[in-house]
Amino acid sequence: MSIRIGILGYGNLGRGVECAIKQNSDMELSCVFTRRDPSLVTILTDGVNIYNTNDILKHKEEIDVLIICGGSATDLPAMTPKYAKDFNVIDSFDTHANIPQHFANVDAAASEGKHVAIISVGWDPGMFSLNRAYANAILPDGKDYTFWGKGVSQGHSDAIRRIDGVLDARQYTIPVEAAVEAVRSGSNPELSTREKHTRECFVVVEEGADKARIEKEIVTMPNYFSDYDTTVHFISQEELDRDHKGIPHGGMVIRSGVSGWSKETKHVIEYKLTLESNPEFTSSVLIAYARAAYRMSKEENYGCKTVFDIAPAYLLNMTGDEMRAHLL
Amino acid sequence: MSIRIGILGYGNLGRGVECAIKQNSDMELSCVFTRRDPSLVTILTDGVNIYNTNDILKHKEEIDVLIICGGSATDLPAMTPKYAKDFNVIDSFDTHANIPQHFANVDAAASEGKHVAIISVGWDPGMFSLNRAYANAILPDGKDYTFWGKGVSQGHSDAIRRIDGVLDARQYTIPVEAAVEAVRSGSNPELSTREKHTRECFVVVEEGADKARIEKEIVTMPNYFSDYDTTVHFISQEELDRDHKGIPHGGMVIRSGVSGWSKETKHVIEYKLTLESNPEFTSSVLIAYARAAYRMSKEENYGCKTVFDIAPAYLLNMTGDEMRAHLL
């Protein structure tokens, strides 16, 4: 019998989950929930019902795992604890500083409702966190570095769009190659924010807009750009649509550490992602952890979990024998 | 209370384990077992007893986890099942083809004796296997590539040393950069053995030896060299000792796969190790899994395990709260 997945929220992430289900023969899409009018939403899979989120409890028995595809700012802090009472749930909560509070809220709800909730699933937090954990366990004496990009930051692109005279924008975060090489060498450099990443912006402005003023507003914007070396390119909407439609992302987690009686031996562990689509990759991770949530709920191992609490075997549609024969 | 580690076998790997214990504040070295005369063995840690392996059962109560530092060819297939009856054990069994049989033997012994045994721990098998598993779980539609090196192959170095007229030798396995780049591009190339790695040999020969004959014997040696492009350098013993004393190794596991409704989106996941000492890094992994074996034995989760069966949280000397706050 397939694992029946429910998708809550049908944007880029929800659509990515829908695509990922198709690649996993032990899963099926049960239904999709939306806050919009369901008759106005079209999905890719034939014969699957779309319901309004208000009706979700009526469909409780049709769903083994509910994947909550909402934003971390306001959606997930409310939604994940709410739905963890009635469903096994997965979310991609990524506000690092608020994870302890979110974990506590979700754990209380999931434990009470006897469900499994896995939070902060994706690539950062998620696969990057796992790689930090493994590398820290192996090399307790070392230093972690995380680089992001080259990739599109939606938050930074949005910040540029809010500037007066800007029609559209796309912002890329780019790791500084010299910093990456210094880290790979094992020299454990101290790197400032400016030394680690640059920012490149492609901006479409209104006819006759003051480009000098807009460029200055971008590069001096606190929190977003002022701590970085930022390059601004003014381009046409056609160029933006043609060359910058994708949402690629990725990055690296590197730990450089030492071993030996006198700490005389250096090692470097690097994990690198090169992703053509940030939401589709995140969705693929969510679906693998949905399998784990389903299995852990069968074992009555309830409560809130993160990627740290889940043995890799739970993620794979393979038996232990197959894993040992083919992957070990 | 510290986790008390016993080391069985005191070569490069056993010494590496001894060094790794020093970096982990929740562990202590309890004792070392050797097949040699204990009075002839010197270790680095003060005040720790060295015993003959024949007396190991007398010291059962002094040890929480026994790390078996033996070879995969003949030592571990006999030793790990034997000692898993009386101890929680870790080994680094790395003969991939024989893992299913070894697992079955060790599982029977560990289950009978109510102990935890974790086999095939290290970096390949071990960390590379984990990365294959995670990447396969996330991108079920894709292709795995493993590259080794640049690093010293002890087996290949030994094979050269057995040639008549050879006094000493060191062999490096080197990934072909063009092949690595092709894989990183996401083009999923089909690569032959020769296309993936080259082999470089540094050889010390007897005075007046026939170098042309020795070089020919190396490059045509079946299984070891005949399927590779091999370069042979004849050097002096002084040069070998000066420039080639280390045992560095490493490599990459890369999975290239697709997502999207029509598989139109490419992603590349890469895990890379650059290790100055192969045995010391392996030892550092062994010690992290010793912590997991100790904890799982407290939970009475007995039997044989591999890296696939162990949640990352078991490897770290941190609480769940600390992990979520600092690593997630």
Residues of A numbered 127-166 whose beta carbons fall under 8 angstroms of chain B's beta carbons: which are they? Answer: 127, 129-134, 136-141
Q: Do B260 and A19 touch (CB under 8 A)?
A: yes
Best to test chain B binding among A138, A301, A326 (most B CBs inside 10 Å): A138
Task: For chain A, say whether B261 makes contact (Cβ under 8 Å).
Answer: yes
pLDDT digits (tens, 9 = 90+) for B170-185: 999 999 999 999 999 9
Chain-centre distance for alpha carbon B151: 13
- Point out the residue among A16, A125, A324 whose CB comes nearest to the CB of B103: A324
* B27 close contact with A: CB closer than 8 A: no
Report whether B172 contacts B152 (CB < 8 A): yes
Task: List the single residue in B23, B285, B321 with the smallest CB-CB distance to A100.
Answer: B321
* Pick from B96, B313, B325: CB nearest A309: B313
* Dist. CA A201–CA A212, nearest whole Å: 14
Residue from the list A96, A316, A321 with its beta carbon closest to the beta carbon of B136 = A316
Phi, psi of A277 (to 5 degrees): -140, 115
Nearest by CB to B327, which of A23, A132, A273? A132
Which residue in chain B is spatially nearest to A121 when comparing CA positions? B328
Long-range contacts formed by A186-191: CB under 8 A, 24+ apart: A186/A256, A186/A266, A186/A267, A186/A268, A186/B274, A187/A256, A188/A142, A188/A143, A188/A256, A191/A145
Asked if A278 has any chain B CB less than 8 Å from its own CB, the reply is: no
- State the pLDDT at residue A1: 81
**Which CB contacts under 8 angstroms, 24+ apart, belong to B319-325?**
B320/A308, B320/A309, B321/A100, B323/A133, B323/A306, B323/A308, B324/A99, B324/A100, B324/A103, B324/A306, B324/A308, B325/A99, B325/A100
Query: Over pLDDT 90: what percentage of chain B?
Result: 98
CB A61 within 8 A of CB A93: no
* pLDDT for B1: 81
CB contact set of A322 (below 8 Å; sequence gap of 6+): none
CB A81 within 8 A of CB A103: no
> What's the Cα-to-Cα distance from B122 to each of B127, B246, B306, rounded to whole Å?
6, 19, 11
CA separation for the pair A251, A123 (Å, rounded) = 10
Q: Does A12 touch chain B (CB under 8 A)?
A: no
Contact A308 B327 (CB under 8 A): yes
Cβ–Cβ of A19/B328 closer than 8 Å? no
pLDDT in tens, chain A (328 residues): 899 999 999 999 999 999 999 999 999 999 999 999 999 999 999 999 999 999 999 999 999 999 999 999 899 999 999 999 999 999 999 999 999 999 999 999 999 999 999 999 999 999 999 999 999 999 999 999 999 999 999 889 999 999 999 999 999 999 999 999 999 999 999 999 999 999 999 999 999 999 999 999 999 999 899 999 999 999 999 999 999 999 999 999 999 999 999 999 999 999 999 999 999 999 999 999 999 999 999 999 999 999 999 999 999 999 999 999 999 9
What separation in angstroms does the CA of A24 have from each of A283, B141, B317?
12, 9, 35
A vs B: CB pairs below 8 A: 211
- In angstroms, the CA A145 to CA A70 distance is 28
Collect all residues of chain A within an 8 Å Cβ-Cβ radius of residue B129.
Answer: 327-328
Q: How far is the alpha carbon of B25 from chain A, nearest alpha carbon, in Å?
A: 10
ipTM of the complex: 0.96
Which residues does chain B have within 8 Å of residue A130's beta carbon, measured at their own beta carbons? 134, 312
Q: Which of B308, B309, B317 to mutate to test the interface with A (most CBs of A within 10 A)?
A: B308
pLDDT tens-place string over residues B108-153: 999 999 999 999 999 999 999 999 999 999 999 999 999 999 999 9
What is the separation, in whole angstroms, between the first and last Cα of chain B? 27
